[in-house]
Amino acid sequence: MKNIYSGLKFIFFSRGLSKGLKRLRFVGKRFGFMPRKQIGYINYYASLLKQHAAKATFFIPAKLLERHIKDIKRVEGGTIEWGIHGYVHTDLSKLSQEEQKEQIIKAVDIFDKYGVGFWGFRAPYLRINAYTVKALAQLKRFSYVSTNTVLWDEIYGADRAYFKWITDFYNPLLHSHASSPPETANAITQIAVSLPDDDVLVDRERMDREPLLALWENMLRFCHEKDEVFVLQLHPERIVELGGVLVELIKSARALNPPVWIATLGEVARCLQSDASDARKWPRPYRGVFCITGDIDCITIGDFIIRLREW
């Protein structure tokens, strides 16, 4: 009961009461009691990527993977690179190094048990503390972590409705002050997630498709001009709403001259960790990198209830 209370408290703390209640309504709209609806979204996402010769990195909690392993194994192969999204979907920033290490070991064991390969890690809620990367490095199983955030404030500035919420909740670097290039330490590359993401723009701002596309295309152009990495966060639960936006971004990345490299996070980490003398540069002829990512936090309505209990 204590875990359920803590989970509900976090949901309403992170969103506010009215937004928390609205989130619960979205759950009923986007998720079913059976996996079919959400697995359909995941497969649709994968099919869009395949149609446009692109790949994405999806992160999933290990216990959720285990619960739905048969369906996950049927997801279109060749388009999705899997990453670990914790053992369960909880706020790691509240845990000690040993507690985090224990959870990460259990997550790795489940991925290994079912033969699901992984290269990297993303913490639930994009929230970690000083111990997280140390715990990951000790295991020597991860080539990257994609949890730190950078807010592209030149495009989504302080005048926007959720600017303060983003800075309070995620504590991101501001792009205008530091572009947050990937950095490698202890054999782990940190690749920051770009904000604002789909959660902010769709569920919070209720932004229409055209202005949302324009905002992300501006981030893509900045990425190209400065030879940076744009890590898009687009959850599978919103792919029906934003599938057209994703396709336009893929086309825009390829239309730039030179084109932007559309790569998985694992590919970026391997490139930066290579022995090549010019390892900071992307493969020719690319300038800048566009990484498509999505977190699978739940698959059924029942998973939300279990998630609260596991908190």
Q: What is the CATH number of the domain that holds 247?
A: 3.20.20.370
Query: Quick one: pLDDT at residue 309?
Result: 74
Q: Residue 106, class by beta-carbon neighbours within 10 Å (0-12 exposed, 13-18 middle, 19+ buried)?
A: middle
Structure tokens at 153: 């404030």
Q: From CA 18, how far away is CA 265, in angstroms rounded? A: 35
Query: Quick one: pLDDT at residue 264?
Result: 98
DSSP string spanning the chain? Answer: -HHHHHHHHHHHHHH-HHHHHHHHHHHHHH-BSSTHHHHHHHHHHHHHHHHTT--EEEEE-HHHHHHTHHHHHTS-TTSEEEEE--SSS--GGGS-HHHHHHHHHHHHHHHHHTT----EE--GGG---TTHHHHHHHHT--SEE---EEE-TTTS-TTSTTHHHHHHHH-PEETTT-----EEETTEEE-PEEES-HIIIIIIS---HHHHHHHHHHHHHHHHHHT-EEEEE--GGGHHHHHHHHHHHHHHHHHSSSPPEE--HHHHHHHHTSS-TTTTSPSTT--SEEEEEEE---SBHHHHHHHHHH-
Q: Bridge-partner residues for 56, per DSSP?
A: 80
Asked if residue 189 lies in contact with residue 182, where contact means CB atoms within 8 angstroms, the answer is yes
Q: What's the domain range around 167?
A: 2-310
Query: Quick one: pLDDT at residue 276?
Result: 59
Chain centroid to Cα 278, Å, comes to 28
Contacts of 73 (CB under 8 A, 6+ apart): 114
> Cα angle vertex 288, ends 287, 289, to 5°?
130
Query: Quick one: pLDDT at residue 3?
Result: 54
Q: From CA 153, how far away is CA 151, in angstroms rounded? A: 5
Q: From CA 176, how far away is CA 137, in angstroms rounded? A: 30
Number of folded domains in the chain? 1
Q: From CA 142, how far away is CA 152, in angstroms rounded? A: 27
For the chain, the distance separating the N- and C-terminal CA atoms, rounded to the nearest angstrom, is 10
Residues in the chain predicted with pLDDT less than 50, given as ranges, are: 2, 17, 277, 279
Residue given tokens 């309070």 in the structure block? 168
- pTM, two decimal places: 0.92
Residue given tokens 């998985």 in the structure block? 264
